[in-house]
């Protein structure tokens, strides 16, 4: 009897943490579906492993999610792991933020994962694991930083969503990892010259391992992943 292939989906996988996480999961024998708006970078990523399946999408509509679900179903039938890594960060003081800034942060950092989780429920295997990638900025009691209010609030909402869904989704574990500073392109664009203590490869390896085994120990948890509050 042929066993069903194990499958994972990593959003925002064209660069940084998402890219490294996808590579680690593929190394472990998972079929890894990778999404981004940047198809060229996803196709380059797929050259590293026959188990990596690129799919261009913005995750901005239910129709897009339905089409992604069909794409996954045609290849592996079901899904075991979802890593909501795609995100957006703006560095702008609260007094200068616009309604559009707030809508953009909430759209990418909260509503994208909401649509995706809701739309993929039907193809998730029992015992599956959803890992939402939050931020220390959205972790209650952590140090907060000027310019990151909209970003931190959107990531805080993602943390609460994770706690709620652990009680709503039957047979699927949901956890949120609140990351500290990692030396990614997104961080460099927001904070030129800042040197983070963790490399994307290191964090990608950690997230991949947590996605594989973290649900054995955690469900509905918001977990800080930082050496300390970023200073």
Catalytic site positions: 151
- The full 3-state SS of 114-157, as one line of letters, equals HHHHHHHHHHEEEEEEEEEEEEHHHCCCCCCCCCCHHHHHHHHH
Distances (CA, A) of 89 to 18, 106, 113: 15, 10, 16
Distance from C-alpha of 105 to C-alpha of 117, rounded to nearest angstrom: 18
Q: Which candidate, 173, 177, 183, 184, places its Cα nearest to that of 216? A: 173
List 148's β-bridge partners, or say none: none
List 32's β-bridge partners, or say none: 8, 52
User: Do residues 211 and 81 make contact, with C-beta atoms less than 8 angstroms apart?
Assistant: yes
Token pair in block for residue 30: 């998972």
């Amino acid at each position: 009897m042929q066993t069903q292939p194990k499958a994972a989906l990593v959003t925002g996988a064209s660069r940084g943490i998402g890219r490294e996480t996808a590579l680690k999961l593929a190394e472990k024998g998972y079929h890894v579906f990778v999404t981004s708006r940047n198809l060229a970078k996803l196709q380059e990523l797929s050259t590293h492993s026959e188990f990596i399946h690129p799919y261009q999408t913005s995750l901005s509509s239910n129709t897009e999610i339905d089409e992604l679900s069909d794409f996954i179903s045609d290849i592996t039938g079901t899904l075991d792991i979802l890593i909501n890594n795609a995100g957006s960060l703006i560095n702008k003081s609260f007094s200068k933020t616009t309604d559009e800034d707030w809508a953009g942060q909430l759209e990418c950092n909260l509503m994208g994962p909401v649509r995706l989780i809701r739309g993929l429920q039907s193809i998730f295997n029992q015992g599956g694991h959803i890992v939402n990638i939050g931020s220390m900025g959205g972790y209650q009691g952590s140090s907060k930083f000027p310019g990151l209010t909209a970003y931190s609030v959107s990531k805080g909402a993602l943390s609460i969503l994770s706690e709620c869904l652990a009680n709503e989704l039957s047979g699927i574990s949901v956890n949120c990892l609140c990351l500290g500073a990692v030396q990614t392109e997104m961080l460099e664009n927001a904070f030129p010259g800042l040197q983070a203590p963790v490399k994307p490869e290191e964090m990608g390896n950690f997230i991949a391992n947590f996605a594989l085994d973290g649900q054995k120990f955690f469900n509905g948890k918001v977990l800080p992943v930082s050496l300390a509050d970023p200073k």
